[in-house]
Amino acid sequence: MNLPNKLSLFRMGLIPLIVFIKLFPYAQFDLVIPIYDIQGYALSLLNIVILLLFVIASITDFVDGYIARKYKLITTFGKFIDPIADKLLVTTMFILFAVDGIVPLVVVLIMLWRDILVDGLRMIASSEGIVMSAGYLGKLKTVLQMFAIILILLNNLPFEIISFPMADFLLWFALVASVLSGVSYFIQGKAVLLKSK
């Protein structure tokens, strides 16, 4: 197994660790999570640890793709595992936020539905020998989602200091990009869907 694929698997391995850290019943074991005061705004150690893990995972996403392209280490397994690792990471984070009531559940559901529908379309296209690569909107959606997650974990700091809801702005912008990129996929794959045997 080459390095890019190992990095993708490492990224996937961080996901259950993040879930464990987030959902561990600290109170039952009399563990108190330290809260730090940043210019009057609270930020818990729990969020900081999860943020670090998320950033590490996000960096591996960039690094594995860069190495795979530069050294021609692109494999079928890599094409399969890399986007799955990305979606599992992002979707897991948004589900955790929704459970805490930080993010509206409907936003998470729409993004999840979009991903399932697009993946289904791409599988159908692939069976017809057609490769549907991620377009500009799809890549923009992923970037917006990742930055939204980072800001949510930071409780919207430093933007909270100036009372600008940047985390919310990025979240809703990511939702719009998600829907529009999904529509563009279906426009692109319309011929495949309407094709009769």
158: cis peptide before it, omega within 30°?
A: yes
Q: Specify the pLDDT at position 131.
A: 65
Gap between the Cα atoms of 165 and 156, Å rounded? 7
Sorted by sequence, the CB contacts under 8 Å of residue 89 that are 6+ apart come out as 11, 12, 14, 15, 54, 57, 58, 61
- Cα dihedral 164/167/170/171 (nearest 10): -130
**pTM recorded for the entire structure:** 0.91
In our burial notation (b when 16+ CB lie closer than 10 A, e otherwise), range 125-152 reads beeeeeebeeeebbebbbebbbbbbbbb
Q: Specify the pLDDT at position 74.
A: 83
Query: Mean pLDDT by 10-residue block, N- to C-terminus, for the chain (197 residues)?
Result: 90 96 95 91 95 95 87 82 89 96 96 91 78 76 94 95 95 96 86 69
- Go through the domains of the chain in sequence order and give each one's CATH number: 3-194 (1.20.120.1760)
Gap between the Cα atoms of 52 and 108, Å rounded? 22
Q: Specify the pLDDT at position 25.
A: 94
What is the DSSP code string of 141-155? Answer: HHHHHHHHHHHHHTT
Q: Specify the pLDDT at position 139.
A: 83
Kindly list the distances between the CA atom of residue 185 and the CA atoms of 44, 112, 120, 170, in Å, as whole numbers in the listed order: 39, 15, 11, 22
Tell me how far the alpha carbon of residue 73 is from its chain's centroid. Answer: 24
Gap between the Cα atoms of 171 and 50, Å rounded? 18
Give the pair of three-digit tokens for residue 27. 């109170």
Q: Tell the burial category of 93 from Cβ atoms under 10 Å away from its Cβ (0-12, 13-18, 19+).
A: buried
